[in-house]
Structure 1
C-alpha cells in the first residue's frame, strides 16, 4: 500500500483516536480476559462457509456482435442461449481472539464452475456491460467467474477503548449497502485494501473512517485509486438511526465509463470510455422501525444524497439521489412502499453507486447495475412473512426514467420514459444454525424499448442497449461453520 495513503488515513483518524483517549479518563475501566497466544488462536472466530448455487437465465436479445479482441462474432444475429450455471464458493478463514490488543484474520476464496453453460462476463479488455467471456459468448450472463485468491487478510488493533483499527484487505458493509458493500450475493465478493477506523466513544454514536487504495471487483478485476469514507451513525432508539456520510472516490477507471457516459458518438467531445469517473457522494439518511406495541410497528426511510465530480472527475458528474418510503409490521408480517430516484443530469449522466451491493436494488434480475444516463425512478412494494424457520419474500417494481430516452424506431425525439416492470419472490429455509437453503425467482418485463441514441433500429449494436425481457432462477444451499 502506498505510504501517502497511510499518512492521509492517519490524519483523518487522529481526531477520533484523541477523542476516545480524552473520554477514557472518566470511563469505567473495562476488564477483559487475558489470553495466551495459543488461547487467542483457539478461541477465535471461524470465517468459513461453502455455498453451492444453481442459476438459470432466460434473456431475450441477440448475441454480442464482437469478441473481446474486436473480431466479428459469426453468430451475432442469433438469439442468446439460456444460461445454466452451477458454481461452488468456498470461503476458508479464521480470525484470532485479541492478544495484547492485536487480532489477525486470514480468509481464502475459491469459486469453481461445476456446470459452465454461461457467459461469466470476463475478458482482458473491460469489465462493464460489454464484457464477454469469448468462448461462451453465445450464452446469457452469470457473473461468477472461477477464481482463487486471498479474500480477506487483515490485522485489528483495539488498544484504545471503544476503537478498532483494521489494516489490510477487508469486506465492508455500511448501512443498507446501497453505497458501500461487499456484493455478497455474487460468488466472488468485492473487497477493499486499506485501513479503517471504527469508534463508539460518543454515546449512541458509531463513527467509521477509512482509506482504501485498491478494490477487487466481482469480475475479479483489481482497480487502483483512492477511496475515502466517512460514515457517522446516531442511534435514536434501538431500531431507529440517523446517518451522515461522505464517500470520496478518486478512481479514474472502474471499468464503467462507456455505461456511465454513453458511447463516444453520443457525446462527441471525447472518448467516453476514457472519461474520469472520480466522484464524491455526500448524504443523510433517516431510517428505522418504530414499535408501538410488541406486535405492531411502523417502518420508515428518508434519504438524500448528492453526487458531483471530484479530483479531476468528468464535469458531467452532477446528480442527486433520494429514497422515501414506509410501511407497517404486524407480528411476523411486514409491508412497505418505497420510491428511489437516481437522477439524471439532462441525459448526460446519472447518479451511480459503483461500490454498492446493487443486486439488492431495482430488482434482482440486475438490469440496472449501472444507471442509464437518463436516470431511474423505481417505485416498489415489498412484503415479507416469517413462519417458523421459513422466510417468505415478494416485491414488485415499476421502473421508469428521470429524463425521457430514445426508443427503438422512435426517430430523433426522446419519447420513452418507462423501462419496465419486475417482480421477485424468494423462500429461505434456515434449517439450523449452520445450514441455509434458498429459492429465488425474478422476472423483468420490458416496456418502452430503450435505445442508446436517436434513430436506433431493431437490428445491430444500437438495439443491444435495450433492457429486454429476462427471467432468472436461483437455488442455493449454504453451510456456515
Structure 2
C-alpha cells in the first residue's frame, strides 16, 4: 500500500477542520454528548461485489509488439470487498474511513493494466488494497465541508465522477464545500490536488496530481425546471495534455410526461498542455413514459479542434457512449453519438435496451454502432444481481476500432 500520500491527506483534513472552527460554535447540539460517544456510536458497513466480465474483441493490436495478438478473448473474475466505518456526529463533525480490496478469483486471463497479460483485451480491474475514502466532514445549517479523500460526483458525472462501475473507484484528495438544498439554490466548490484513478497504486497511471478546481451551481428556475452552470479548471501535472478549462450550462426540465436535458460546454487548453485547441460539447436528450416503457432519445457531440477531441479525463465514462467503452478517449475528429433506448419492468427487475450510432463530429467518418442490453433486479433486501451485454460493430472502413462483444454478470451484497 502506498503511504506517501498520507501526509497530504491529513493536511487536507487539518485544513478542513481549521476552516470550520468559526462555524462550530453555532452548530446545534448533536446526538453525541462527547467526542468519545461519537466514536463509540460509529457504524460499520460491508459491501461485496463479485463480477465476471467476458470480452471478445477482434483484431487486437498490441502497441508494444506492434502486431496482432493471438488472443482475442478475456475473462475477468473479480471480487471487490469494501469495508467502511462512519463515526457518530459531534458538534456537526463526522469522520469516515473506507478500505477497498480487489481480488481476482481463478485464472486472470485478462489485461488488468498491471498484471502483465498484455496479450489479452483490457479489463481495468487490477488487484490491490487501498484506502478509498478518508475524510472529516462538518455539517451545519445549509453548509457541508468535507476534507480528505472523498467521492465527488457532479451533474450526472459527465465531466466529474467516481467511475463506480469499475471495481476500484476513482476518488479525490482535497476540500469540498457544498451549500444549499435540493429545492433551492445549490453551490458546490472543490479544490483537489490529487485524483486516485481506477488503475490502482501499482500502476504508472495511478494518480493525476495538479491544481484542480471544480465549481458547480444549480438554480431551480421553476417547478420541475433547473439550470446549472459549471467551471472545471484542470491544471494537471501528471497528465499535462489533458489540462483544460471547461465552462458549461445544463438544463433539466419536465413538460408533462416529457423530460428534457440540454447541455452545452466549451473547453480550451491551459497550463502545460502542448496542444492549442478550443472544442465544444452539446447534448440534447428527451425522455418519456409510453405506457409501461420508459423511452429515451439523445444526441451527444464531443467536438474537435486542431485534431484534438473534447476531453473528459475525470468523467464516469462507462455511463456514456455505450457499455463497450470504445470511446474512453475522444477521437481526434470528435464524436457524435445518436442513441435511442427504453426500459421496462420485467419479473421484478428492470430490462433495458439501447442503440448507439457513432460518427466523427468533424468530417464524414463513421466509427460503428452498438447495442446495449441489461437486466437488473433485487434478489433480497441486501442482495442484487445485474446482467449486461454490449455488441459494438465497427464500420468496415474503420482502422481504429474493432468489433467487440462484452458480457457482465454481477452480484452485489450490502451488510
Larger strand percent:
2
Q: Do structure 1's residue 101 and structure 2's residue 82 form an aligned pair?
A: no
How far residue 388 of structure 1 moved from its aligned partner, in angstroms, is 6.2
CA distance in 2, matches of 1:155, 1:427: 37
Cα distance change on mapping 1:288 and 1:430 into 2, 3 Å? farther
Map of 2:312 onto structure 1? 353
Cα distance change on mapping 1:87 and 1:237 into 2, 3 Å? farther
Map of 1:450 onto structure 2? 398
How far residue 316 of structure 1 moved from its aligned partner, in angstroms, is 2.2
CA distance in 1, matches of 2:174, 2:72: 41
Map of 2:4 onto structure 1? none
Farther-moved stretch of structure 1 (221-230 vs 370-379): 221-230
| Aligned residues of 1:277 and 1:314 also touching (Cα < 8 A) | no
Map of 2:326 onto structure 1? 367
CA distance in 2, matches of 1:204, 1:443: 42
Map of 1:287 onto structure 2? 252
Cα distance change on mapping 1:351 and 1:182 into 2, 3 Å? same
Q: Do structure 1's residue 302 and structure 2's residue 250 form an aligned pair?
A: no
Q: Do structure 1's residue 474 and structure 2's residue 411 form an aligned pair?
A: no
How high is the TM-score relative to the length of structure 2? 0.88
1:168 to 135, 141, 148: 148
Farther-moved stretch of structure 1 (303-312 vs 180-189): 303-312
CA distance in 2, matches of 1:237, 1:382: 28
| Aligned residues of 1:61 and 1:79 also touching (Cα < 8 A) | no
Map of 2:112 onto structure 1? 120
How far residue 101 of structure 1 moved from its aligned partner, in angstroms, is 1.6
Q: CA RMSD in A?
A: 2.8
* Partner SS, residue 105 of structure 2: strand
* Partner SS, residue 183 of structure 1: coil
How far residue 94 of structure 1 moved from its aligned partner, in angstroms, is 1.4
Paired positions, count = 398
1:137 to 114, 118, 129: 118
Cα distance change on mapping 1:100 and 1:322 into 2, 3 Å? same
How high is the TM-score relative to the length of structure 1? 0.76
How far residue 253 of structure 1 moved from its aligned partner, in angstroms, is 3.1
Q: Do structure 1's residue 400 and structure 2's residue 359 form an aligned pair?
A: yes
Map of 2:51 onto structure 1? 53
Map of 1:261 onto structure 2? none
How far residue 61 of structure 1 moved from its aligned partner, in angstroms, is 1.0
* Partner SS, residue 153 of structure 2: coil
Cα distance change on mapping 1:138 and 1:203 into 2, 3 Å? closer
Cα distance change on mapping 1:313 and 1:438 into 2, 3 Å? same
2:173 to 189, 193, 200: 193
Map of 1:69 onto structure 2? none
| Aligned residues of 2:241 and 2:275 also touching (Cα < 8 A) | no
CA distance in 2, matches of 1:97, 1:470: 48
* Partner SS, residue 242 of structure 2: coil
* Partner SS, residue 318 of structure 2: helix
How far residue 432 of structure 1 moved from its aligned partner, in angstroms, is 2.9
Q: Do structure 1's residue 249 and structure 2's residue 208 form an aligned pair?
A: no
* Partner SS, residue 48 of structure 1: strand
* Partner SS, residue 402 of structure 1: coil
CA distance in 1, matches of 2:382, 2:224: 27
CA distance in 2, matches of 1:338, 1:201: 29
How far residue 138 of structure 1 moved from its aligned partner, in angstroms, is 1.6
Q: State the Cα deviation string for residues 378-420 of structure 1 (Å, max 9, x = none).
A: 000021112463011110000000123xxxxxxxxxxx51000
2:190 to 204, 210, 224: 210
CA distance in 2, matches of 1:149, 1:179: 24
Map of 1:225 onto structure 2? 210
CA distance in 2, matches of 1:238, 1:109: 40
CA distance in 1, matches of 2:334, 2:113: 24
Farther-moved stretch of structure 1 (423-432 vs 56-65): 56-65
Q: Do structure 1's residue 421 and structure 2's residue 369 form an aligned pair?
A: yes
How far residue 315 of structure 1 moved from its aligned partner, in angstroms, is 4.2
| Aligned residues of 2:143 and 2:180 also touching (Cα < 8 A) | yes
| Aligned residues of 2:60 and 2:72 also touching (Cα < 8 A) | no
| Structure 1 residue runs without a partner (length 5+) | 67-71, 123-132, 255-274, 405-415, 452-465
CA distance in 2, matches of 1:391, 1:202: 27
2:286 to 315, 321, 326: 326
* Partner SS, residue 196 of structure 1: strand
Map of 1:385 onto structure 2? 344
CA distance in 2, matches of 1:309, 1:444: 31
Map of 2:298 onto structure 1? 338
CA distance in 2, matches of 1:2, 1:83: 38
Map of 2:127 onto structure 1? 146
